[in-house]
Amino acid sequence: MPDVVSLIRAKRDNARPLTSQEIAWLFAAYANGEVADEQMAALLMAIYFNGLDGAELRVWTGEMIASGQRLDLTDIGKPTVDKHSTGGVGDKVSLILAPLVASCGAAVPQLSGRGLGHTGGTLDKLESIPGWRASLSNDELKAVLKTTGAVIAAAGSGLAPADRRLYALRDVTGTVESIPLIASSIMSKKIAEGTGALVLDVKTGSGAFMRREDQAMELARTMVTLGEEHGVRTRALVTRMDTPLGRNVGNALEVEESIEALSGEGPADLMEVTYALAEHMLALAGIDADPRAAIASGRALDAFNEMIRAQGGDPDARLPKAAHAMEAVPAPATGWLTELDAFAVGVAAWRLGAGRARKEDEVSHTAGVRCLVKPGERVRQGQPILALYADDPARFAPALEALSEQDVIEIGSEPPPLSPLVVQEVGR
């Protein structure tokens, strides 16, 4: 019979891999209280420093999946495919992508999360729409999926419950930034939701969780391997997140921009990432369709409206607006905007009320930042680069402080070179 102290020592000293029997015992013992939180936290710290090899990680993830339900979507009647992003600033791609891919003939069961820190959450954004519900039972989720082809909802408590306990420990013990633990956390929930295929958007750059490209690539490869090992066709795109995606950052602001994108008026950078992900999702689902045609014909916008109505929302309702606005970050010279730091803009939006510091915090639907100028556009000296929005004017000062703590913008005498936002592709 294994004992947890021996497993901690084995990982702490990097003496040997844990066996599949030991990992299975560990999860069962943790679930029934034989392993205490402080012991599991010690093991997580040992894993943070010494990692998990491929075999350990496969079993570890499998035990997280097995700790709860695994949805069965085989009766949906369409190929199922989902997308997951590791998070960025202005990343409203999910709001566009789910109905877009659904309008092309796939079923998109997207279980999403809430924002924390400088990155926004898909559910927070959609809750800006009057009446829209994030919490659905499994039967409701499947009913919406069958009716509209797309659903965006909160993951139920029955999916990978071990992940919630482990994440809570990682959050308070400084062990979040571990590639095997990140990969198992993301993939256990995505595999448990029952999708047949999955495309991952792994962000890299100043506004991303994985700032370095080599780290983003390692995470992408690890998650693709886990997906394939657990029977989910998986690909990953590594995409740049050095500047906000699109122009709007904040909940209702991003919904507004998503509707514009579905109406054929999306910013070029946002649509570049959206179309790349859509093409890979449709390929994995075995569907030969052109996502650009779905936007141009209005089918994608119709699918969005149907999805919102099916979850209690009113797509025709007016989105809420902030009570206060101000312009900020005047250009120090005339020229071309060459850089706009995503992290600083994300922190400013968070301080305006669009994000949360703790999971239990409330967010403002109306707060956020609009990029009046994006890299590659010409500016005049003194021209404001950003517009800030808040319900409480006292929030402007800390947001402005975030925008003055580092070099948020750079102005050049020549336009910056245009680089593709998709850096690498991982998977077949």
Q: Any idea which residues carry the catalytic annotation?
A: 84, 163, 170, 185, 189
Are 123 and 273 spatial neighbours (Cβ–Cβ below 8 Å)?
no
Nearest to 273, CA basis, from 199, 378, 342: 199
CA distance 242 to 357: 22
Torsion of the alpha carbons at 218, 220, 226 and 230, rounded to the nearest 10: -170
Please compute Rg for the chain using Cα positions.
22
Q: How far is CA 266 from each of CA 96, 102, 181, 282, rounded to the nearest angstrom? A: 10, 19, 35, 20
The residues with which 82 forms a beta bridge, in sequence order, are 198
